[in-house]
Amino acid sequence: MAAKPRVVVIGGGFGGLEAIFYLRHKLGERVDLTLVSDRPYFLFKPNTIYIPFGADPERFKIPLDRPARRKEITLVQDRVREIDPQNKTVSGETSRLRYDYLVVATGAAMRPEEIPGLKEHALTLWTPDEMLALRAALQRTVAKARAHERQRILFLVPPNNKCSGPLYELVMMIDTWLREQACRAEVELVWATKEDGYIQAFGPRLNTVVAQEFEERKIEGHKGFVVTGIEPKQALFQNGERLAFDLLVSFPPYIAGNRYPSLPADERGFIPVVPDSRRVKGFEEIFSVGDAADFPIKQAFLALLQGDAAADHLAAEILRTKPQVNFEPMSMCVMEELNKATFAQVPLKYTGDLKNPVDVETGDVEHYKVGVSPVWRLGKKVLGVYLPWRFGHGEPFHAGLAWGAMDLGLKVMARAFAD
């Protein structure tokens, strides 16, 4: 090993940046760090939900060159095509790098082709450009509604979607927005999900909250509707039902963002890891975090926790100490509704069941908290400022005095506005 261990992190999203900034925070100058990203900026994707309502997509892009320089991290803009564990190298389109330790954080991608007709007939949301397309579609919907032409928007969660939360945000944001445009009465909002409960991955309490919101907002909801195909103006389901639409909005099925034949992978390309450390199974020097790894729920906060755990285990190995941070799955999110927001903190547990590997720890009343209030919109805004500020300065989300203050504030708000 070199005098300074060489750590290469591939992927400039939540998990990759948290891992590399945590390593610098923990190890200082005792490690040589290289970040490989296929784009020169970090996209704060949770706030792209505001783009359909007028937000500028550029607001959510944080250039990586400044934090890289600030923390003396070598930044390489490239897409890694090959990982060679035997020779400890990664090769991209324009670069070849050696490593002593590697963190794979290359995220997820979408495969709408799995559902016949989805790509052709739906707005499948993933990128800022697709959010801009939704903005244009909503403007057309409002124009028709004001001309007294009734419209029907169908929101669809298909099989193999790994994070449905943002779509739940959008349906309630659109309801609020249409009311502000004084045309909600002319637009039907319909929801169909393959889940047996709303936001099923996060347990029964969010299902109850969403069901109440749908009833109050007059959103027609259908659970257990497994889509089998999309035709012009209608969606077909496994139970024989058909739902008509004028506009179809969906998140597609997930797959791994990149596949590396030299590493193990499940049927969708996600990398199996040891849960506590996020170490790739069978490879001592390689870790995988965030959406690239095999944790079944893909979410920014979970990616941050995985980045922390991998970096702490990696740092402990370099320092020859015991790791202090294991990955303990805990989801935290604030779901925007434009007139209020829903806060959820959900402790998760591994079940050992291959069909349902993760479940909610419903008995953990200390940590399982849900609340709905206009005040939580402030929490959403604070998080939307705090994390870009931290990453923009090359600092990890969960570290230092700033995180201590943020954590205390969230706990105080949770006690007051969630239970």
Where b means 16+ CB within 10 Å and e means fewer, 102-141 reads: bbbbbbbbbbbeebebbeebbbbbbebebbebbeebbeeb
Q: What radius of gyration, in Å, describes the C-alpha atoms of the chain?
A: 22
Write the DSSP symbol of residue 270.
Answer: P
Pair 230, 236: CB distance under 8 Å: yes
**271 and 399 together in one domain:** yes
| CATH number of the domain enclosing 333 | 3.50.50.60
Q: pLDDT: is 134 or 419 the higher one?
A: 134
For the chain, the domain total comes to 2
In the chain, helix, strand, coil percent, each to 5?
A: 35, 25, 35
For the segment 144-181, what is each residue's pLDDT rounded down to a tens digit? 999 999 999 999 999 999 989 999 999 999 999 999 99
In a domain, 12, yes or no: yes
Report the pLDDT averaged over residues 200-227: 96
pLDDT for 90 equals 98
DSSP-assigned letter for residue 266: -
Confidence (pLDDT) at 94: 94
| 166-to-126, 173, 194, 268 alpha-carbon distances in Å | 10, 10, 16, 22
- Which of the listed residues 231, 252, 273 is the one where a domain comes to its end? 252
Structure tokens at 417: 């506005």
Residue 151 DSSP SS3: strand
Q: Let me know: does 110 contact 254? Beta carbons within 8 Å.
A: yes
Residues 161 and 54 occupy one common structural domain: no
pLDDT tens digits for range 25-45 = 999 999 999 999 999 999 999
Q: Are residues 290 and 196 in the same domain?
A: no
Quote the pLDDT of residue 2: 53
Residue 89 has pLDDT above 60, yes or no: yes
Among 196, 219, 252, the domain-final residue is 252
Provide the mean pLDDT of the chain: 95
What pLDDT, on a 0 to 100 scale, did the predictor assign at position 352? 86
- Does a structural domain hold residue 51? yes
Check whether residue 243 and residue 392 sit in a common domain: no
Cα–Cα distance for residue pair 388/53, rounded to 1 Å: 21
Q: Which of 252, 281, 308 is the last residue of a domain?
A: 252
Residue numbers of the domain that contains 139:
112-252
354-404 pLDDT, tens digit per residue, is 888 899 999 998 999 999 999 999 989 999 999 999 999 999 998 877 788
Q: Half-sphere exposure of residue 140, counting CA atoms within 13 Å on the CB side?
A: 10
In a 13 Å sphere around the CA of 402, the CA atoms on its Cβ side amount to 15
Nearest to 44 by CA among 394, 385, 329: 385
Question: Residues 14-25: pLDDT tens digits?
Answer: 999 999 999 999
In angstroms, rounded to a whole number, what is the distance separating the alpha carbons of residues 289 and 292? 6
Average pLDDT rounded to a whole number, residues 38-67: 97
- Same-domain check for residues 265 and 243: no
Residue found under tokens 């996209």: 43
Domain membership of residue 1 (yes or no) is: no
Residues 119, 102 share a domain: no
| pLDDT surpassing 60 at residue 78 | yes
Question: What are the helix and strand counts (H, E) for the chain?
Answer: 9, 24
Structure tokens at 178: 């249409």
- What integer pLDDT is reported at residue 285 of this predicted model? 97
Over range 59-72, report the average pLDDT. Answer: 97
Residue 370 phi, psi (nearest 5):
-140, 140
Provide the b/e sequence for 359-396 (b: ≥16 CB within 10 Å): ebeeeeeeebbbbbbeebbebbeebbebbbebbbebbb
What does DSSP say about strands 358-360 and 108-110: parallel, antiparallel, or unpaired?
Answer: unpaired
One domain, residues 169 and 264? no
Task: Write down the pLDDT at residue 181.
Answer: 97
Q: For residue 410, is pLDDT > 90?
A: no
pLDDT score recorded for residue 51: 98
pLDDT at position 403, please?
Answer: 80
Q: Are residues 264 and 375 in the same domain?
A: yes
Is residue 192 a contact partner of residue 161, using CB atoms and an 8 Å limit? no
| Whole-number pLDDT of residue 418 | 85
Locate all alpha helices (DSSP H) within 149-282, ordered by sequence.
165-180, 204-217
Q: How far apart are CA 282 and CA 279, in angstroms?
A: 8
CB count, 10 Å around CB of 299? Answer: 23
pTM of the full predicted structure?
A: 0.95
Are 245 and 274 in the same domain? no
Q: Of all residues in the chain, what percent carry a pLDDT higher than 90? A: 90
For 246-296, write each residue's pLDDT tens digit: 999 999 999 999 999 999 999 999 999 999 999 999 999 999 999 999 999
Q: Are both 185 and 329 inside the same structural domain?
A: no
Verify that 318 and 245 share a domain, yes or no. Answer: no
Burial zone of 313 (CB within 10 Å; 0-12 exposed, 13-18 middle, 19+ buried): buried
- Return the bridge partners of 244, or none: 234
Q: Is the CB of residue 237 less than 8 Å from the CB of residue 230? A: no
410: Cα separation from own chain's centroid: 20
Residue 87 shares a structural domain with residue 45: yes
- In angstroms, the CA 400 to CA 386 distance is 13
Instruction: Give me the DSSP letters along 342-399.
Output: EEEEEEEEE-S-SSS-EEE-TT-TTT-EEEEETTHHHHHHHHHHHHHHHHHTT--SS-
